[in-house]
Amino acid sequence: MTEKNLVTAIHDTLHDEMAADDRVMLIGQDVGARGGVFKVSEGFMAEFGEQRVIDAPLAESGIVGVAIGMALHGLLPVAEIEFADFIHPAFDQILSEASRMRYRTNGDWGCPMVIRAPCGGGIHGALYHSQSIEAFYAHIPGVKVVMPSTPADAAGLLHTAIADPDPVLFLEHKKCYRLIKGDVPDVPQPTPIGQADVKREGTDLTVVSYGYELHRCLDAAARLEQDEGIHAEVVDVRSLAPLDTETILVSVRKTARAMVVYEDNRTYGAGAEIAATIAERAMFDLDAPIVRIGGPDIPAMPFAGALEHYYMEPEPDHILVAMRDLAHF
Amino acid sequence: MSAQVTETAHGSLGLGVDDLLAMHRTMLTARLIDEAALRQNRMGRAPFVVPVSGHEGCQIGTAWPMRPGIDIWVPYYRDLGVVLVAGMTPEQIFLGLFSKASDPTSGGRQMPSHWSSRGLGIVSHSSPISTQVPHAAGIAYAMKYRNEDGVVASWFGEGATSEGDWHEGLNIASIHRLPVVFICENNEYAISVPQSKQMAVADVASRAEGYGIPGFVVDGNDVLACFRVMKEAHDRARAGEGPTLIECKTYRFLPHTSDDDDKSYRSREEVEERRHHDPIERFATYLVDGGITDRAALQTVHDEVKTQVESAIKAAWDAPDPDPATATRHVFAEDDP
């Protein structure tokens, strides 16, 4: 085990995957000499060469489209979208092409590829460097969507994503990159896609979350336990699609209280799917209505500190307050 | 850099009599499949047909230098002639037209004419336009990285060149001097929109200059001229000299699809005049005038192909439909049986 932050865990895992298999390629903007704007590929070009670490022209649809072509011809491309906010020109390539290649050919062709995209707010990124995009893609059958929240999960999920025979959208929360540290196994431990993880055990309520919000939920749960004796169980979904409904339902049936916390705009977000699943399948196990906390339904995260703070935390300790209210319902 | 290509004589092309006759037979096969498919549509047995008639010269001409088993084909939906050269059989074409379980493109999932066959090296494509162009670049990138001898060819219409993906694919392919040939089948209309409303230039090929690659305009109704310019592009790709953009000037004799009414945007006089430049008749005349064959032999070929198409229709029509229980399969690899 070695303690690393999240971005270092991604760097090291991607490095090891490229070193182990010459089919693994990296294509994206500034991934070469610059080593990526977040330094995920620092040193890669020198070690693996320009052919495998491809500084792409400024064209997101082309980056994903070329990666699809590579995947169709035996390579294992990792396409980096510099910021998730810029992925939208590639939406058609992901929706109409990558996600449907296997289905539309009756299993004849497949697209083994990873699309990495740094996402999320709270880093003074404003409208176009803060966005949560997971709901758009989790809605598409044929694409897997994961968002690790700890360095160990980042390493394990990236390892699994590169080995996966189908397209995986690998979302990296920027605020977690250097803030979140943790032990990472020195030998890769695959983290299965589609498996949630109980990050904190508890008996009084279940909090389902992912990304940076997960850490705020864990923080609130620790304080509630210490100060008020409320024991919250915190489930990290890790994989938005496919969603591990069983782990969520087992927890909810145990605690009889459920809350979903996510950073994306509240309406039609991933929390809606999770809440609906709980309502459909565990309604009679619940002692309280499901609580859903999402970002405000404004077009995007504003820049000014006070405005950004409103997006991330509209009222002081709003997650903790909601958890307490739910526990006492 | 864009040049006109008009030469038709086969002598300098390395094509023997057998090649010429096989090319003619393939063009005729495409035409007779097309006409038969539309009859099936009118009979209510084929809900959707994408006609090819008029494009046979540029399709067979540009497909012919490709090497089945080595090169990769990235066509679009009008490329019946291209996939015949790649090795798809008339029966397989009709299995797709009737959306049967054994349709090689998709087992009846896609609309007809959305070609695919991994075994033949034909890459699946969708209905959104030009999305396959970056795929062609990516496949060519993989070939170059692997030091393979292969060449990728991608076909599209002139309307496709307005799409961002078209530009992005050509740009990346040109930056890396990838072994790929881009072939525009310019039939002057993107469904109903004429070229004058699609672009402000006379020739798609002139755009090659913007990518630093050679661009050629060729008479798309002259199968041998199309062959020659493609053969040279294919050779350049294999020699590591990068992509070529070929523009074949041609014409679509029939509506865009069986659901289109082209009378709303093209006069009958215009279509009739263009039929006088039929690439199949033009090639037949070349073969007869050159003493390579005669009209009686060509009639025999016509009859043979017609019989082959009719038996393909019967076999395909009698093939089983997809099992509804299979509709949820192949979303992910782990779903595969």
Instruction: Give B256-300 pLDDT, tens digit per residue.
Output: 999 999 999 999 999 999 999 999 999 999 999 999 999 999 999
Residue B201 is given by DSSP the state: S
Evaluate if residue B3 carries a pLDDT over 70.
no
Given an 8 Å threshold on Cβ–Cβ distance, is B134 in contact with A65? yes
Which positions 43-72 of B are in contact with A (Cβ < 8 Å)? 72
Q: Say whether pLDDT at B10 is over 90.
A: no
Q: What's chain B's average pLDDT?
A: 96
For chain A, the structural domain boundaries read 2-184, 197-327
Provide the sign of the torsion angle of the four alpha carbons A87, A93, A96, A99, taken in this order: negative
Partner B contacted by A78 (CB < 8 A): no
Would you place residue B20 in the very low, low, confident or very high pLDDT band (cuts 50, 70, 90)? very high
Please state, in angstroms and rounded to a whole number, the distance separating the CA atoms of residues A124 and A192. Answer: 33
Residue of A nearest to B74 (CA): A69
Q: Quickly tell me which residue has 């904190």 as its tokens.
A: A200
Would you list the DSSP string of B89-133?
A: -HHHHHHHHTT-TT-TTTTT-SPTT---BTTTTBPP--SSTTTHH
Instruction: Verify whether the Cβ–Cβ distance A142 to B332 is below 8 Å.
Output: yes
Active site residue B330: no
The closest CB to that of A105, out of B124, B138, B175, belongs to B124
Our answer to whether residue B189 is catalytic in this structure is: no
CB contact under 8 A, A104 and B109: yes
Per the annotation, the verdict on B252 as an active-site residue is yes
Distance of CA B7 to the CA centre of its chain: 21
- Flag whether residue B169 sits within 8 Å of chain A, measured between CB atoms: yes
Distance CA(B330)–CA(B337), nearest Å, equals 9
Q: Do A66 and B165 touch (CB under 8 A)?
A: no
Which ranges in chain A belong to alpha helices (H)? Answer: 6-20, 44-48, 60-72, 91-92, 101-104, 134-138, 151-163, 174-179, 211-228, 245-255, 270-282, 305-312, 318-327
Answer whether A93 sits within 8 Å of B123, measured CB to CB: no
pLDDT given at position B337: 59
* Rounded-to-integer distance, Cα B251 and Cα B237, Å: 28
Q: Give the mean pLDDT of B238-264.
A: 97
Cα(B168)–Cα(B161) distance, integer angstroms = 11
By Cβ distance, the residue of A65, A107, A144 closest to B135 is: A65
Q: With an 8 Å Cβ cutoff, is A193 touching chain B? A: no
Residue A164 is predicted with a pLDDT of 98
At the fourth CATH level, which superfamily is domain A2-184?
Answer: Thiamin diphosphate (ThDP)-binding fold, Pyr/PP domains (3.40.50.970)
Whether the CB of B308 is below 8 Å from some CB of chain A: the reply is: no
Contact check, Cβ <8 Å, A72/B135: yes
Measure the CA–CA gap between A204 and A324, rounded to whole angstroms: 10
Q: Which of B333, B67, B176 is nearest to A168 (CA)?
A: B333
Torsion of CA B164, B167, B168, B169, to 10 degrees: 120
Tell me if A71 and B138 make a contact (CB, 8 A cut-off).
yes
CA of A25 to nearest chain B CA: how many angstroms apart?
Answer: 10
CB atoms within 10 A of CB B239: 9
- Read off the pLDDT of residues A243-289 as tens digits, 9 standing for 90 and up: 999 999 999 999 999 999 999 999 999 999 999 999 999 999 999 99
Q: What are the residues whose beta carbons fall under 8 Å from the beta carbon of B200, sequence distance 6 or more?
A: none
Paired tokens of A192: 């299965």
User: Which residues are CB-contacts of A111 (< 8 A; sequence separation ≥ 6)?
Assistant: A68, A71, A72, A97, A98, A101, A102, A166, A167
DSSP B205: G
**Rounded to 5 degrees, what are φ and ψ at B117?**
-170, 110
Closest by Cα among A234, A248, A227, A226 to A204: A234
Distance in angstroms (rounded) separating the CA atoms of residues B327 and B337: 13
Contacts of residue B128 in chain A, CB cutoff 8 Å?
92, 96
> Is CATH 3.40.50.970 what the domain over B2-326 is classified as, yes or no?
yes
The kind and range of the H/E element at B81 are helix B80-86
Whose CA is closest to A256, among A237, A228, A233? A233
B27 touches chain A (CB under 8 A): no
The minimal CB distance from A106 to the residues B109, B131, B169 is found for B109
- Residue A279: alpha-carbon gap to chain centroid: 24
- Which of A206, A199, A284 is closest to A252 using CA atoms? A206
Measured in residues, chain A has a length of 329
Mean pLDDT over each residue of chain A, to the nearest integer: 97
- Tens of pLDDT, residues A308-321: 999 999 899 999 99
Per-residue model confidence (pLDDT) at position B334: 84
Among residues B215, B286, B252, which one has the least CA distance to residue B15? B286
- What Cα–Cα distance (Å) separates residue B264 from each residue in A112, B78, B206, B255? 45, 21, 30, 10
CB atoms within 10 A of CB A30: 16
pLDDT, tens digit, for every residue of A17-75? 999 999 999 999 999 999 999 999 999 999 999 999 999 999 999 999 999 999 999 99
* B78 vs B83: CA distance, rounded Å: 10
Amino acid at A295: G
**C-alpha span between A1 and A96 (Å, rounded):** 41
User: In angstroms, what separates the C-alpha of B64 from chain A's closest C-alpha?
Assistant: 22
Q: According to the model, what pLDDT value does residue B5 have?
A: 60
**Are A274 and A281 a contacting pair, CB within 8 Å?**
no
User: Which tens digit of pLDDT belongs to each residue from B130-163?
Assistant: 999 999 999 999 999 999 999 999 999 999 999 9
User: What is the distance in angstroms between the Cα of A71 and the nearest Cα belonging to chain B?
Assistant: 8
How many beta-carbon contacts under 8 Å exist across A and B?
A: 134
pLDDT at B54 over 80: yes
> What's the pLDDT score for residue B259?
95
> Is B172 in the A-facing interface, judged by CB distances under 8 Å?
yes
User: Cβ B141–A97 below 8 Å, yes or no?
Assistant: no
Tell whether the torsion through CA atoms of B78, B84, B88 and B93 is positive or negative: positive
Q: Compute the C-alpha angle B50/B54/B59, nearest 5°.
A: 80
What pLDDT sits at residue B4? 62
Q: Do B126 and A51 touch (CB under 8 A)?
A: no
A66·B333 Cβ contact <8 A: no
Longest CA–CA span in chain A (Å) reads 59
Measured between CB atoms, does B170 come within 8 Å of chain A?
A: no
**CB-based contact A260:A209 (threshold 8 Å):** yes
Q: What is the mean pLDDT of residues A152-166?
A: 98
End-to-end C-alpha distance for chain B, whole angstroms: 51
pLDDT of residue B8: 56
A72 in contact with B, Cβ within 8 Å: yes
Phi then psi dihedrals of residue B133, to 5 deg? -65, -45
Number of helical (H) and strand (E) elements in chain B, helices listed first: 10, 8
Paired with A293 in beta bridges are: A261
Cβ B59 vs Cβ B79: under 8 Å:
yes
**Does the domain made of A197-327 have the CATH classification 3.30.420.10?**
no
Give me the catalytic one of B24, B256, B274, B282: B256
Tell me, what's the pLDDT at B1? 46
**Set of chain A residues whose Cβ sits within 8 Å of the Cβ of B331:** 102-103, 141-142
pLDDT at position B335 is 76
- CB < 8 Å from B in window 138-157 of A: 141-142, 144
Q: What is the DSSP string of B276-310?
A: TT-HHHHHHHHHHHTTS--HHHHHHHHHHHHHHHH
Identified catalytic residue from A129, A159, A173, A215: A129
What is the distance between the alpha carbons of residues B309 and B304, in angstroms, rounded to a whole number?
9
Q: Which residue among A62, A107, A109 sits closest to B134, beta carbon to beta carbon?
A: A62
Q: Do A69 and B140 touch (CB under 8 A)?
A: yes
The mean per-residue pLDDT over the stretch B305-326 comes to 98
Are B184 and B230 in contact by the 8 Å Cβ rule? The answer is no
